[in-house]
């Protein structure tokens, strides 16, 4: 099967797929596995589900951290106001 192989974002060269039943997948840190196409699809579906789940967890965590940050800023603002009032009362 004839294809165009990307070398850069804008440059492609003609190529040929010799084995259309198997693909190489990058599993991280420079390791690749040869898998049947259906198995590779399943792998990437699981990977997308995992990444989506992690993003959702991080979003919840970020919202909690923002609430804590807002509460901390409110407390700091109140303390600054108290100090200013004490200075004005002492003056």
Report yes or no on 16 lying in a domain.
Answer: no
Residue-wise pLDDT tens digits, 19-63? 999 999 999 999 999 999 999 999 999 999 999 999 999 999 999
User: What is the model's pTM?
Assistant: 0.63
Q: For a pLDDT cut of 70, what percent of the chain falls above it? A: 100
Q: Which of 1-10, 58-67, 68-77 has the lowest mean pLDDT?
A: 1-10
Q: Identify the domain containing residue 45 by its residue range.
A: 22-90
Closest CA to 28 of 8, 51, 5: 51
User: Are 40 and 26 in contact, with CB atoms under 8 Å apart?
Assistant: no
Q: For a pLDDT cut of 90, what percent of the chain falls above it? A: 91
Report yes or no on 35 lying in a domain.
Answer: yes
- Count of residues making up the chain: 91
User: Are 36 and 22 in contact, with CB atoms under 8 Å apart?
Assistant: yes
What is the total count of domains within the chain?
A: 1
Report yes or no on 11 lying in a domain.
Answer: no
For the cut 90, the answer to whether the pLDDT of residue 74 exceeds it is yes
Report yes or no on 74 lying in a domain.
Answer: yes
């Amino acid at each position: 099967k004839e294809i165009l192989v990307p070398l850069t974002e804008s440059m492609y060269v003609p190529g040929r797929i010799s084995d259309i039943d198997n693909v190489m997948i990058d599993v991280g840190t420079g390791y690749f596995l040869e898998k049947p196409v259906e198995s590779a699809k399943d792998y990437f579906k699981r990977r997308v589900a995992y990444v989506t789940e992690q993003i959702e967890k991080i979003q919840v965590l970020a919202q909690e951290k923002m609430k804590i940050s807002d509460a901390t800023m409110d407390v700091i603002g109140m303390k600054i106001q108290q100090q200013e009032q004490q200075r004005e009362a002492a003056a």
